[in-house]
Structure 1
Amino acid sequence: MTTILQISDTHIVPEGALVSERLETSGALSRLISRINTIQDQIGSIDVVLVSGDLSDDGSVQSYERFKALLAPLDLPIHVVPGNHDAREPMRGAFADHLPTDGPLNWIERVGDLVLIGLDTLVEGFGHGTLSPQTLSFLEDALSKAKGAPVLLAMHHPPFPSDIDFMDKIGLTNSHAFRDIVSDHAGALRIVCGHIHSMMVTDVGGHIAISAPSPCSTFAYDRRSDAPVGFMTLEDGCLLHRWDAGFQSIRIGPVAGPGPFPF
Structure 2
Amino acid sequence: MTDDTPGLLLARLDTPTTSQSIRLAAVADPHVSTRAEGTSKLFEHTLDHFEAAIDDIASRHVDAVLSPGDLTKDGEEWNAAAVENALESLDAPFYAVPGNHDVPKVGDAHDTLAVDGFADRFGAGAYPFHEQVGDLDVLGLNSSGSGNRLTETHDGHIDHDQRNWLAAKLDGVDDPLVLVHHNLEPVTDQLRRHRDRVSEEMAIPPTMRDVDTFVDVLADGGASLVLTGHFHLPLTGMDRGVREIATPTTCSFPQSYLLLEVGPSGTEIRLVPIADQDGLGLAHDRRTRDSTTARGLTSIGAARQHRCRWSTTRSNRQTSTPSNRPRR
TM bracket, shorter-chain basis: 0.7 to 0.9
Alignment partner of 1:215 out of 240, 243, 250: 250
2:166 aligned with 1:144, yes or no? no
The residue that corresponds to 1:58 in the other structure is 74
The residue that corresponds to 1:153 in the other structure is 178
The residue that corresponds to 1:221 in the other structure is none
Q: Which amino acid aligns with 2:155?
A: H
Higher relative contact order (CA 8 A, sep 6+): 2
Task: Tell me the secondary structure at the aligned position of residue 238 of structure 1.
Answer: strand
The residue that corresponds to 2:56 in the other structure is 35
**Aligned residue runs from structure 1 range 189-200, under 5 A:** 189-200=224-235
Q: Which amino acid aligns with 2:231?
A: I
CA deviations 1:186-237 (Å, max 9, x no partner) are: 3x631110000011111122022110110112xxxxxxxxxxxxxxxx2511
The residue that corresponds to 2:211 in the other structure is 175
Alignment partner of 2:114 out of 82, 87, 90: 90
Alignment partner of 1:106 out of 115, 128, 131: 128
The residue that corresponds to 1:223 in the other structure is none
Mind listing any 5+ residue stretches in structure 2 that lack a counterpart? 1-20, 105-112, 145-149, 193-201, 278-318, 321-328
Q: Which amino acid aligns with 1:201?
A: T
Equivalent pair of 1:60/1:87 in contact (CA under 8 Å): no
The residue that corresponds to 1:224 in the other structure is none
CA deviations 1:24-73 (Å, max 9, x no partner) are: 211111222233345x2xxxx21111110111111122211111111221
The residue that corresponds to 2:158 in the other structure is 131
Deviation for aligned residue 1:135 = 1.3
Task: Tell me the secondary structure at the aligned position of residue 120 of structure 2.
Answer: coil
2:272 aligned with 1:252, yes or no? yes
Equivalent pair of 2:97/2:119 in contact (CA under 8 Å): no
Equivalent pair of 1:214/1:238 in contact (CA under 8 Å): yes
Distance across 1 between alignment mates of 2:227 and 2:64: 14
Q: How many pairs were matched up?
A: 231
The residue that corresponds to 1:226 in the other structure is none
Instruction: Answer 1 or 2: which has greater helix percent.
Output: 2
Q: Percentage identity across aligned positions?
A: 23
The residue that corresponds to 1:18 in the other structure is 37
Deviation for aligned residue 1:80 = 0.7
Change (3 A) 1:255 1:183: same
Distance across 1 between alignment mates of 2:53 and 2:80: 17
Change (3 A) 1:22 1:184: closer
Distance across 2 between alignment mates of 1:132 and 1:124: 14
Distance across 1 between alignment mates of 2:28 and 2:135: 23
TM (normalized to structure 2)? 0.64
Mind listing any 5+ residue stretches in structure 1 that lack a counterpart? 218-233
Equivalent pair of 2:119/2:125 in contact (CA under 8 Å): no
Q: Which amino acid aligns with 2:90?
A: L
Deviation for aligned residue 1:256 = 5.9
Task: Tell me the secondary structure at the aligned position of residue 96 of structure 1.
Answer: helix
Q: Which amino acid aligns with 1:93?
A: G
Q: Which amino acid aligns with 1:156?
A: H
Change (3 A) 1:22 1:8: closer
Deviation for aligned residue 1:171 = 0.6
